[in-house]
Structure 1
Amino acid sequence: VPAGRTAGFSELVEPPQGIPGDDTALNGIRLHCTRGNSQKNTHVVESQSGSWGSWSEPLWCPGTSFLVAFCLRVEPFTFPGDNTGVNNVRFRCSDGVELEGPGLNWGDYGEWSNSCPKGVCGLQTKIQKPRGLRDDTALNDIRIFCCAS
């Protein structure tokens, strides 16, 4: 994997809370950059995350391929209801392989983001801060930044 490009990702996921719990589902995403050919020697890129759940093991693009695009699984807003926002993410690798995270299966996947021909080098998240009420959503959107070279 060329230096600085991300080749894997992991998710911060809160499992279903049942009734009367408050589900937040996907709380965060980490991008993993490999150094050399080892997936053990990685740098991690993380934007702001929610505060619930636990981190999954990373999923990796095969060989020397790298992350180039994503799409989000989003549950539509309901009132009244237990809203979650983003529930899962898929990333596409430069070789066309698609990786789906271990998030929850509520909602539907939207359109794929624009592709980063030289790979993904950054991440920004949109997080709802804990409100102290009964309906937190945590992660609501992400933006990726493409490598310049």
Structure 2
Amino acid sequence: MFRLRATFRSLREVDSSVQKMFSAVTLLVLIQATTTSQLGIDIDIGGSLGNWENLQRCPPATKARGFIIKVEERLDILECTAVTAIKLLCAYPNSKKVVAEISSTEGKWGQWGSPLWCPDGELGAYTLKLEEKQILGGDTVVNNIKFLCTDKRVLTGNGGTGGKYVSWSVTCKTGICGIRARRREDGAALTDVKCECC
């Protein structure tokens, strides 16, 4: 009888250990998946000032296949050209019919450029051209943006010539489906951009 109770106790201990191990593995997988997703959408090298806007996502079954940017041109030597809004054009695969436009909130100034489309595939990665404002205490602003399509075509926005491009983001192999932007507190230029993988 004593041996039987000991056996049952051992089985319970083994079962409890298995459950703890399974929970730990599940948690590790979730953390890894979340971390991988975050690494895949964020360059994390833009300006540090301003507020992040809410994430905007394409409708289900659509992906970002093109984009368009709004640019405020340089007005004097103290200012720099700046991107004041970005729209991603959401469409179904192999289609250029826009189902939805998702964007950062629109800045007060600037003009919209022409839409740029991936010939095949979707937007898959991006890089920002950043320029330091010339006035004392100025912050870094987004001067232009490039997208790499999943078909390897590079699309360059109609931003300014000043500044330098930073390293490319990690490629979203399944395409880009979301965007959020950080905007200067005066509501003008963008200082950073994040894209979300599908």
Give TM-score scaled by structure 1 length. Answer: 0.81
Write out per-residue CA displacement over residues 27-60 of structure 1, whole angstroms, 9 at most, x where no aligned residue: 1110001246542443101122322102112100
RMSD: 2.4
**Residue 196 of structure 2 is aligned to residue 145 of structure 1:** yes
**One-letter code aligned to 2:76:** G
Instruction: From the two aligned structures, give the one with the greater strand fraction.
Output: 1
User: Are residue 54 (structure 1) and residue 111 (structure 2) matched?
Assistant: yes
Structure 1 residues 17 and 78: CA distance shift in structure 2, 3 A: closer
1:111 to 159, 167, 186: 167
Q: Secondary structure at the match of 1:122?
A: strand
Residue 78 (structure 1) shift = 4.4
4+ long deviations beyond 3 Å: 35-38, 81-84
Q: Name the residue aligned to 1:42.
A: 99
Q: Give the 3 Å change call, closer, same or farther, for CA 11–43 of structure 1 in structure 2.
A: same
Give the CA deviation at 1:80.
2.4
Question: How far is the alpha carbon of 1:105 from its aligned partner?
Answer: 1.1
Alignment length (residue pairs)? 139
Q: Which has the higher helix share?
A: 2
Determine which structure has more spread, i.e. the larger CA radius of gyration: 2
TM-superposed deviation, 1:130: 1.6
CA distance in 1 between counterparts of 2:75 and 2:134 reads: 17
Which amino acid in structure 2 is aligned with residue 52 of structure 1? W
2:182 pairs with 1:126: yes
Whole-Å separation in 2 of the counterparts to 1:115 and 1:36: 18
Structure-2 separation of matches of 1:129 and 1:24: 17
Alpha-carbon distance change, 39 to 67 in structure 1, aligned in 2, over 3 angstroms = same
The corresponding residue for 2:127 is 71
Q: Is the 8 A contact 2:83 2:189 kept in 1?
A: yes
Q: Secondary structure at the match of 1:129?
A: coil
Give the counterpart letter for 1:141 in structure 2.
D
Output the CA distance in 2 between the equivalents of 1:112 and 1:19. Answer: 29
Q: Is the 8 A contact 2:130 2:142 kept in 1?
A: yes
Question: In the alignment, is the contact (CA less than 8 A) between 1:24 and 1:84 conserved in 2?
Answer: no
